[in-house]
A and B are shown apart, each in its own frame.
Chain A
Amino acid sequence: MTKHLLIEIGMEEIPARFVRGAINQFHEKLDAWLNESRIHFSSSKIYATPRRIAVMFHDVSDRQEDTSEEVKGPSRKIAEDENGSWTKAALGFAKSQGVNEEALFYKTIKDVEYVHAVKNTEGVDTFELLSKHLKDMILSLQFPKNMRWGNYNIKFIRPIRWMTAMYGEQVIPFEIAGTTTSNSSKGHRFLGHDIELRDVNEYAEKLEQQFVIADIEKRKHMIVEQIKQLEADNDWHIPIDESLLEEVLFLVEYPTALAGQFEEEFLTIPKEVLITSMREHQRYFPVLNKEGELLPFFVTVRNGNEDGIEQVAKGNAKVLRARLADARFFYEEDQKMSIDSAIARLEKIVFHDELGTIGDKVRRMKHIAESLSTHLQLDEPTTEQVKRATCICKFDLVSQMVGEFPELQGTMGKDYALKAGEDQVVADAIFEHYQPRFAGDATPKSIVGAVLSLADKVDTLVGCFSIGIIPTGSQDPYALRRQAAGIVQILKDAKLDLSISALLQIAVEAHNRANLLKKEANKLQSELTQFIALRVKNTLMDIARYDIVDAVMESGFDYIELTMSKTNTLKHFITEEVKPTVEAFNRVSNLAEKADSDQINVQLLEEGPEAQLHQMLMDVESKMEEALQQKQIEKALQYLTELEQPITTFFDHVMVMVDDEALRVNRLALLHRVGALIHSFADFKKIVW
């Protein structure tokens, strides 16, 4: 027989950003447990709102599956005495497996006979198992932030206030923190009443009658449709920001989208400020017209129905008005400040105790940016723009607006710089130097912005690693992983002729000049290279499978663009067809490891396959070098494959490990050179077939 299983944990409002993780984890845990426990079910569904996470498993069988397994016991020597009777050891084994001695039998494993028994385990009642294990399963959930409450000695994401646990029509009894399970659940905090379930099937429907849309996708769909309706009614365009939608989704149990209005005069404030005020602080959706211009309206999603909706709109508008009035005040005040006076104040803002002030950081960035300009052979005007942009890139940090809206750093800098008459390129670079701000964000468009952004990020990385701030696990307070990933993205997108090692060297040198190196430069550089390698790898994993990525990474990754092209080329190259080629390469690599030298004595080469392989090696070495220089990666690989035939012929006709030491050493050296050439493209041994 089968029944549905429902478990709902009712809590005080769970932080919106954690709801989805919580329900997914709960679902996975239960799913895994049911499978391990051999309790079958047909399908499952999750439900989650700010106040509850719930899972339903459909058609859950009422007993565990029975099992039958063959168990190995002692060997015949030990199991039988000289009279052919069972020894104590054998009888003990039978007893431990719950079988009679008559049921024991022999089975031969690797020429030795062992006693065996078939152990049958009868499945246990599902309800009984659930009653026993559900509590521990719930308490084993892990959250990013846990709390205690009242007098209870448990930690959970938020206080548990009710639990609904039912198998069919039966309540599964257990208790957590003074809360016992029942067949009832709670409706909407204000609009609804408690519900009682006679059967699990009624869950979603009964909750909906009490103004709780427990189905995540359904609720999301309602919000989107309501926003679209407002768009259609008013001829608006409302861009739906996915992360805002996700947050709003988990702030409401019963959504009603509504529009509010603010005074047109606030539209003189930069639109980024307006959008930030609405989106980040109030969780409103900004409203645009069809032409994409910001309108003095906002859309918010209420946790409730239409009742009193004008009042709600008015109240929200009042709050927004106060915020915008503040913002306008800051905007006007900030414009009274000169860029120079702002820069002077950076000397008082500590970046890090051991790394000095923001002023110090800007000076180091300037060294780095100048060295990069030289390294990249930028022309004079561009170099001047880099210099100016570097000097002023952080000045908006002391503005009141950024003090109030930290996420507008760079955005305000650009706006104020333009107002102060700075060059457009310089102003753009101030904004761009924080890019990419998050995974998937755009990278700087201009070369000035790219150089500045690299200088900022590599300075932070080198500084932090030098004084021992190295991310571990979830600890990454300076977002160093993001900085490193940003460097990789920029090097990739900007197609600069700049290697990771050159960039690191320049930054390490700048820190050295500032007397900030707390570690030996080589050690620091190698730690950072490893750290960046992981980010490079992540980037490559987006375009190819892991073994291809590993193969390419093994050959080095100093030039991102080259590494990317190699990955792409190799991805298309690797098919069943080229297996013989790769096997030939790998044979070379395996033997090449035995070589002590790569010095080939041409005099010792035998005519025929050996000399031919050598000839081919010389030929391919130079052709590949040229192709790589011209960034013709496919061609380079093509040349490499030309080695297959001579390699195969060589192995067919030439004995490498001969007794004559001179010959042997020479042949190994030849293979070493061939292997090195192959490895300079990729480590083909990493390829998995």
Chain B
Amino acid sequence: MNFQKMIFTLQQFWSEHHCIIVQPYDVEKGAGTLNPMTFLKSIGPEPWNVAYAEPSRRPADGRYGDNPNRLYQHHQFQVILKPSPDDIQEMYLDSLRALGIDPLKHDIRFVEDNWEHPALGAWGLGWEVWLDGMEITQFTYFQQVGGIDANPVSVEITYGLERLASYIQNKESVYDLEWSDGVRYGDIFHQAEFEHSKYTFEHSDTKMLFTLFNMFEEEAKNALEESLVLPAYDYVLKCSHTFNLLDARGAISVTERTGYITRVRKLARQCAKNYLEERERLDFPLLKKQGGNMND
């Protein structure tokens, strides 16, 4: 199964299992969790079921396109179900079957792995799912988001698409994966991997990035003062990505690091708090959609 077919399959599968399908969010982010469709929507009492593919940037993981497994930008497929359904593990395993993975022919295990994102004030408990010893999915029950107790609890399922594909297609290098018939992953992304790595590690303008960080932070605060949560949150994402760029460049000392993370967390928490208040003011509109079947 080629890469894009995997995405179609997962979209199809989850749309048949209560989820609305949305498109990737247009601000740089390190993980699908940071998409407001997860971060903000998992806050508060409203039911919410969504699935989407998410290109995720990890500047420090850039390897100039040389390493077969590490990427500046990889792809996640993200599913959020709130409240977490009782048969969620079975549902997830069915999605693997839809991808052509027969559990009887493999060794699939749920191995404890607890997730924490300090900059988002978020944590959860769950597992990494192993397929014949390879971690293919992060499976997490959110316990706190933006410093707010998750109630009801959302379950987050994050598939690592490149890893899954390298297994399904039996390829050693990510660049040899088939994206669509006849088109390789490398054909599409290799140049970007090289250039972004070179930019990140050698050419990014540290001074400008520091200035940007401060500006983005200010703007997030300004927007929050007007209770404009979603625009504010966009600037939090920009802060987070700018920080990642500076960090990858080695421009932030270990001591300063904590300080920057604290600044981002403060903003993320404020966004979470304001978002909950805004939804409450709106009387939690999605509560009226019974059962959370968003696409019914």
Stretch at the interface among B23-31, B107-115, B225-233: B107-115
Q: Is the CB of A150 within 8 A of B151?
A: no
Instruction: Determine which of A284, A307, A316, A350 lies in contact with B105 in the assembled complex, contact meaning CB atoms within 8 Å.
Output: A307
Q: If the complex has contacts A15-B112, A348-B253, are A147 and B141 also in contact, measured as CB distance less than 8 A?
A: yes
- Give A312 to B133 CA distance when docked, in angstroms: 8
Contact in complex: A326, B109 (CB < 8 Å): no
Are A311 and B153 in contact, with the CB atoms below 8 A? Answer: no
Give A16's nearest chain B residue, CB to CB: B112
B249 to chain A, nearest CB (A): 14
- B-facing mask of A341-358, CB < 8 A → 1, else 0? 000000011100100010
Size range of the interface on B?
35 or more
B282 at the interface (CB under 8 A from A): no
Task: Select from chain B the residue with minimum beta-carbon distance to A17.
Answer: B112
Supposing A251-B111, A303-B107 touch, asked if A150 and B255 sit within 8 A by C-beta, the answer is no
- What separation, in Å, do the CA atoms of A148 and B150 have in the docked complex? 9
* Contact between chains at B152 and A348 (CB < 8 Å): no
- Say yes or no: A13 contacts B86, CB within 8 Å: no
Residue with the greatest number of chain A CB neighbours at <10 A, chosen from B86, B114, B127, B155? B86
> Is the CB of B214 closer than 8 A to any CB of chain A?
no
Assess the B255–A350 pair: CB atoms within 8 A.
yes
Are B133 and A300 touching (Cβ within 8 A)?
A: yes
| Choice from B110, B114, B133 contacting A319 with Cβ under 8 Å | B133
**A316 interface neighbour in B89, B104, B132, Cβ under 8 Å:** B132
Docked complex: A432-450 residues within 8 A CB-CB of B:
none
Asked if A151 is at the interface of the complex by the 8 Å CB criterion, the answer is yes
Establish whether residues A350 and B86, one from each chain, have CB atoms under 8 Å apart when the complex forms.
no
The answer on a CB contact under 8 Å between B114 and A13 is: no
Chain A residues whose CB sits within 8 angstroms of the CB of B285 once the complex forms: none
B83 within 8 A of A: yes
Residue B206, interface by CB 8 Å: no
B69 at the interface (CB under 8 A from A): yes
Docked CA distance A557–B82 (Å):
59
Interface size on A, residues (CB 8 A): 47
Q: B132 is contacted by which of A145, A159, A311 (Cβ under 8 Å)?
A: A311
Closest to A179 in B: B86
Min CB–CB distance A130 → chain B (angstroms): 25
Q: Is A651 an interface residue (CB 8 A)?
A: no
Q: Known contacts A12-B110, A326-B69; is A150 also within 8 Å of B105 by CB? A: no
* Cβ contacts under 8 Å, A190 to chain B: 103-104, 108
Contacts of A350 in B (CB 8 A): 254-255
A-chain residues with CB within 8 Å of residue B132 when the two chains form the complex? 311-312, 314-316, 318-319
The proximity string for B residues 132-176 relative to A, scoring 1 for CB distances below 8 Å and 0 otherwise, is 111000000101000000111101000000000001000010000
| B125: interface (CB < 8 Å) | yes
Q: List 15 A-B contacts (CB under 8 A).
A: A12-B110, A16-B112, A148-B143, A149-B83, A150-B83, A150-B85, A151-B83, A161-B86, A308-B104, A311-B105, A315-B131, A315-B134, A316-B107, A321-B172, A353-B255
Q: Which 5 A-B pairs have the closest CB atoms?
A: A315-B132, A308-B105, A15-B112, A13-B110, A316-B133
Known A-B contacts: A50-B110, A312-B132. Give 14 more (CB < 8 A). A13-B111, A13-B127, A149-B83, A252-B109, A300-B133, A302-B107, A303-B108, A307-B104, A311-B132, A315-B167, A316-B133, A318-B134, A318-B167, A319-B132
